[in-house]
Amino acid sequence: MKTYLSGIQPSGRQHLGNYFGAIRRHIALQEAEGEKFYFIADYHALTTVQDPDVLREMVLEMAVTYLALGLDPERVTLFRQSDIPEVCELTWLLSCVTGTGLLERAHSYKDKLAHGIRTSVGLFTYPILMASDILAYDSDLVPVGKDQKQHVEMAQDMAGYFNNTYGEVFVRPEPLIPEDELFAKVPGVDGQKMSKSYGNAIWIFEEGKPLQKIVGKLVTDSRPPEEPKDASELLPFRFLELFCDAAELADWRERLARGGADAPGYGHLKMRVKEAMDEHFHAARVRRRELLADRGEIERILARGAETARARAVATRDRALRACGLRPRSS
Ligand code: ADP
Ligand code: TRP
């Protein structure tokens, strides 16, 4: 039986790019055969977030987002990274077999240096903590976006260094990168890639007037409705492609291409985008409100997840300690 593991950076409110590019895929994987471990990477978040209230809110928001959108804690072990202190111990053990050269080659670290961002030791050793996360649960498959592929490869390298030094302790993980490009780059309201740092994002749980307002901002040109148009060039249509079925899309495409007096205008397309989002996220919005009204339930889910995850991590930590000549603590 395969073990899947992924870490989720707590980064506040999530947008449609996060949903189609990452969250939806994570949730769909709960149908796959095997064990699934997902955690909220709050230790990693400390490399960028240093306000305790903000961090607590971000962790909560992430747990609520996944649960509201359908993550089933009966099928996926959902937990907080920092509830598993064994990953910090493994980080030390892996640090001692890992050359600094490997870390110096990390793209994410090099990018930060190139942008003149002050780097901490934590940021430099980020890939070792990530390798510990992966190796602690004997993970076979690590679903991540392309940007994290190198980090998973570094975890493979570190498992290899350790196993070569001390014998077979860690399972070699493989990254699982999405193949379909359709949802890899969801555009923002300005047509550029949607990102929270570009101010062009639509939040997953936006609704009512604020949603109408932001959808109204989808960039279009000033051509009149009767002019025939290629649907795939229209930003509102690209949003409809995210939500609507093939038959409906074909109908819009055909009416837009035909043009004339009864052709839809941009306002019609935008109205349908809002409506489609309302339909798609209705149940999730309701569930989100319920969860936010019962934070104790979220804590219980995370605590139960941590208990399951920790049993695995303790066993791996002890195996690693024994291999190094240190005393395992749980037996
Ligand atoms: P942001 O760019 O808003 O800061 P993050 O870097 O926090 O987003 O991304 C979190 C996850 O969401 C990553 O897996 C990333 O690949 C995915 N993602 C972010 N923006 C988009 C987008 N516009 N289209 C598809 N996936 C996206
Ligand atoms: N670094 C990952 C990201 O930024 C989050 C993460 C932390 C992770 N530990 C992990 C992903 C282990 C996969 C496996 O998205």
Q: 17 in ligand 1 pocket by Cβ < 6 Å?
A: yes
Q: 184 in ligand 1 pocket by Cβ < 6 Å?
A: yes
Residue 14 binned pLDDT confidence (cut-offs 50, 70, 90)? very high
Least confident of 64-78, 85-99, 106-120: 106-120
Residue 178 binned pLDDT confidence (cut-offs 50, 70, 90)? confident
Please give the distance, rounded to the nearest whole angstrom, from the Cα atom of residue 80 to the centre of ligand 1: 21
Please give the distance, rounded to the nearest whole angstrom, from the Cα atom of residue 232 to the centre of ligand 2: 34
**239, 188 contact by CB (below 8 A):** no
**281, 289 contact by CB (below 8 A):** no
The H or E element that residue 131 is part of is: helix 126-136
Residue 331 binned pLDDT confidence (cut-offs 50, 70, 90)? low
In this predicted structure, the answer to whether residue 192 has a pLDDT above a threshold of 90 is yes
pLDDT in tens, 285-311: 999 999 999 999 999 999 999 999 999
213 catalytically annotated: no
Partner residues linked to 80 by β-bridges:
40
Query: Per the residue annotation, which of 2, 110, 149, 196 is the catalytic one?
Result: 196
Radius of gyration of the chain, Cα coordinates, nearest whole angstrom: 23
Both structure tokens of 188: 């923002």
pLDDT in tens, 19-52: 999 999 999 999 999 999 999 999 999 999 999 9
Q: What are the structural domains, with CATH classification, of the chain?
A: 3-184+295-324 (3.40.50.620), 205-289 (1.10.240.10)
Q: Tokens 């498959």 identify what position?
A: 141
Please give the distance, rounded to the nearest whole angstrom, from the Cα atom of residue 17 to the centre of ligand 1: 6
Both structure tokens of 195: 């990102």
